[in-house]
């Protein structure tokens, strides 16, 4: 019970600060400004290249499977951090920090985006396929929903 409260305290404090100070952290970009083609074309290539890099340079045949998984995850995470620092970030494609935001908000957003991008890259192509599958399922259900409302 004590550990659950430990997680709730920062969330409650953050909510209190955001409500009382009325800070806006991020806003979604208009759909016209979102360049999904760049993300969907380049990201799978980066993931595949990272996995091949791990196979060639990181994986050792003489070591255990768990040791190899630990090493490849760390290597992929490191590559992801470098790519995100260089400017290839995921959240940045969909959201933007408002121009009137404080500098600390911009830094926090970029930090979270950098870590998230590195984690997705460390997850490999399987995680990317799950994300793409989720988007495909959502669009398929929306199409079916639209068709059913048009026929009624």
Number of DSSP helices (H) and strands (E) in the chain, helices first = 5, 2
Whether 89 and 117 have beta carbons less than 8 Å apart is answered as yes
For 98, residues 6+ apart whose C-beta sits below 8 A from its C-beta are 24, 26, 27
pLDDT greater than 60 at residue 24: no
Tokens standing for residue 152: 């009624």
- Helix, strand, or coil (residue 68): helix
pLDDT of residue 19: 57
20 pLDDT tier (thresholds 50, 70, 90): low
Average confidence (pLDDT) over 88-109: 81
Between 124 and 141, the higher pLDDT residue = 141
Higher-confidence residue of 52 and 14: namely 52
- Give the dihedral of Cα atoms 125, 53, 45, 43; nearest 10 deg: 60
| Chain segment 28-76, per-residue pLDDT in tens | 667 667 676 666 677 677 777 777 777 776 777 777 878 878 888 888 8
β-strands 95-96, 27-28 pairing = antiparallel
CA-derived radius of gyration, the chain: 20
Q: Is the pLDDT of residue 144 over 80?
A: yes
Q: Are 60 and 52 in contact (CB under 8 A)?
A: no
Q: At what angle do helices 36-53 and 65-86 cross, to 10 degrees?
A: 140
């Amino acid at each position: 019970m004590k550990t659950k409260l430990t997680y709730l305290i920062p969330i409650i404090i953050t909510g209190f600060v955001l409500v009382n100070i009325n800070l806006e952290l991020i806003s979604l970009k208009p759909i016209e400004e979102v360049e999904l083609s760049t993300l969907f074309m380049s990201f799978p290539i980066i993931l595949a290249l990272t996995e091949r890099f791990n196979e060639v340079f990181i994986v050792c045949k003489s070591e255990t499977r768990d040791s190899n998984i630990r090493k490849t995850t760390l290597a992929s995470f490191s590559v992801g951090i470098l790519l995100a620092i260089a400017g290839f970030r995921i959240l940045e494609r969909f959201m933007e920090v408002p121009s009137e935001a404080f500098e600390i908000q911009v830094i926090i957003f970029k930090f979270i985006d950098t870590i998230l991008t590195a984690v997705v890259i460390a997850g490999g192509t399987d995680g990317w396929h799950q994300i793409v599958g989720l988007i495909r399922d959502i669009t398929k259900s929306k199409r079916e929903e639209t068709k059913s409302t048009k026929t009624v």
